[in-house]
Amino acid sequence: MTAEILSGKSISLEMRDELKTTVDGLKEKGMTPGLGVILVGDDPASRSYVTAKEKACEDVGIFSREIAMDGGSSKEAILEQVHALNNDDRIHGILVQLPLPDSSIEEEVLNTVLPEKDVDGFHPVNVGRMMLGLPAFLPCTPHGVLHMLQRSGATVSGAHVVVVGRSNIVGRPLANMLSQKSAFGNATVTLCHTGTPNIAAFTREADIVIAAVGRPHTITADMVKDGAVIIDVGVNRVEDASKKSGFRLVGDVDFEPVAEKASFITPVPGGVGPMTITMLLYNTVESARRHLARG
């Protein structure tokens, strides 16, 4: 068996076409979705991410506003800009690009974003509503995984899903959403992590394995059963002298051997990654739609 490649890039483009149609419809009603981005400091990776998000907004017709701040900006100065975006009627979604130079203030900054503009899905109100299965902005990477599974045609309802990794950004919300009685879930979910003895004993029984640990080649071929669906959330740099950059990107899954056993598998890069930005757009458009409905 050789796995079918589950391309997040292709699904992402398909969803962006759909979003553009929705945005055009909102504009006809006088509503232009808007995303406000706060970038603190000059981290090259953060700058690259923000630029990609702004380009994606332009592609689907979303208005974007960037607030670039010096890396030495005080907490008070950052919070002032968050409040400004909270009060800006043109802005329906707010993104604070992480990491901040001072990681100790991240929680307070994120919690200052209005829940109805929290398109990252990080605010405790949205996290709580997600846990209860209530309407909420879902965190972008887990939400993207749900759409990938649905559009692949993979059977999730009734499946045994093993999520490897318990971060608050990916692993835990994914486990929660997949176990809920919903169109995206209704699965039996096992959450494994660094404290789990013999993770392979669980992954070998899984219909779907989702790897989100941030460690190269954690999931190997002997850890999965024939026909399993493999979702690789990890993005890791490994040294590669043959590359101009001196490194290449690999996932948490040992791709080639595992692909020989799986039914579907996501590549790295080009798998889950493109979906994260698309779901940010999705949440921003949904926020604008809700705002219009409220009048």
Active site residues: 53, 97, 120
Helix (H) or strand (E) holding 253, with range, is none
Cβ-Cβ contacts under 8 Å for 124 (sequence gap 6 or more): 111
Q: Compute the CA torsion angle 260, 202, 272, 144 (nearest 10 deg).
A: 130
8 Å CB contact between 266 and 230: yes
Strands 236-239 and 247-250: antiparallel
Give residue for tokens 């070998």: 204
Task: Please give the DSSP secondary-structure letter assigned to residue 197.
Answer: S
8 Å CB contact between 234 and 216: yes
* Cα gap 83→71, rounded to integer Å: 19
8 Å CB contact between 187 and 149: no
Task: Please give the DSSP secondary-structure letter assigned to residue 139.
Answer: P
User: In 3-state terms, what secondary structure has residue 251?
Assistant: coil
* Cα gap 265→254, rounded to integer Å: 11
